[in-house]
Amino acid sequence: MAKYFIYKNGKQEGPYEAKAVIDMKLSPDTFVWCEGMTDWKPISQVPELQQPQQPEPPRFTPQVPPQTPPQAGPQGGPQYQQPQYQQQYQQGPQQYQQGPQQYQQGPQQQYQQGPQQQYQQGPQQQYQQAYQQPNNYQPAPSEKSKVTAAILAILIGGFGIHYFYLGKTTGGIVFLLLCCTGIPSLLALIQGIMMLTMTEEQFQQKYVYTESSFPLF
């Protein structure tokens, strides 16, 4: 068997047997030479170095099973098959026979369990919800103006006028009695500034809806 030399990457390699050259899977443009050849030739021109082509399998065609003809009936016609809905109605009475057992058990469980759960859980939830409602209660906004009360406190608050305006008579009398000391004027000035910085809701809770008859700060 002839042995081939190959010229690859600018170098001559070999000799190799034809099978070894085929296993290398070289490019078809790779040049080879063996004894008896006049010159170097590419692998594509050497029949012995061509890779054998794998045979393609035949096309698969599935076999269709033969269809059995319908069986003849009593008079030679096709055999009658019972419809599915008749089969369902024939099986149905068995289900209805078992049904009353469910109706016998169902009411007992409902009447035994239902009232206990309703009477045990219902009143507790109602009383809990009733006591939670006052926490979300918001009083209606008052007709007392925050800006008016603040101006009265800053200008003539030393006489307790802003307390009388807000309906806090006790605070107004205390400021009126101590107006000669100058302390009520200073306190009223601070109150007026605080009123202007408050929100309307904070003002209503602090000076209008409070239970204190003499709210300061």
Kindly state whether residue 187 falls inside one of the protein's structural domains: yes
Instruction: For residues 206 and 58, give the distance between their C-alpha atoms in angstroms, rounded to a whole number.
Output: 98
Kindly state whether residue 203 falls inside one of the protein's structural domains: yes
Output the pLDDT for position 85.
54
Cα atoms found within 13 Å of the Cα of residue 82, Cβ hemisphere only:
6
Kindly state whether residue 155 falls inside one of the protein's structural domains: yes
Q: Are 153 and 191 in contact (CB under 8 A)?
A: yes
pLDDT digits (tens, 9 = 90+) for 14-56: 788 888 888 888 888 888 888 888 888 888 888 887 776 666 7
pLDDT band for position 140 (cuts 50, 70, 90): low
Amino acid at 111: Y
And the tokens for 11? 């170098």
- Domain of 7 in residue numbering reads as 3-49
Domain C-terminal end among 49, 67, 83: 49
And the tokens for 135? 């926490």
Kindly state whether residue 86 falls inside one of the protein's structural domains: no
Percent of the chain at pLDDT above 90?
27
Kindly state whether residue 24 falls inside one of the protein's structural domains: yes
Output the pLDDT for position 94.
53
Domains held by the chain: number: 2
| Residues counted in the chain | 217
Domain C-terminal end among 12, 32, 49: 49
**Longest Cα–Cα distance in the chain:** 139
Kindly state whether residue 23 falls inside one of the protein's structural domains: yes
Kindly state whether residue 42 falls inside one of the protein's structural domains: yes
Place of tokens 């054998």: 52
pLDDT(13) > 70: yes
pLDDT digits (tens, 9 = 90+) for 64-120: 777 776 665 555 555 556 555 555 555 555 554 555 454 455 545 544 555 455 445
Q: Where are the beta strands (DSSP E) in the chain?
A: 3-8, 11-17, 31-34, 41-42
Kindly state whether residue 30 falls inside one of the protein's structural domains: yes
Reading phi first (left if > 0) and then psi (alpha if -120 to 50, else beta), residue 14 is in left
Instruction: For residues 193 and 1, give the distance between their C-alpha atoms in angstroms, rounded to a whole number.
Output: 116
Instruction: For residues 73 and 70, give the distance between their C-alpha atoms in angstroms, rounded to a whole number.
Output: 9
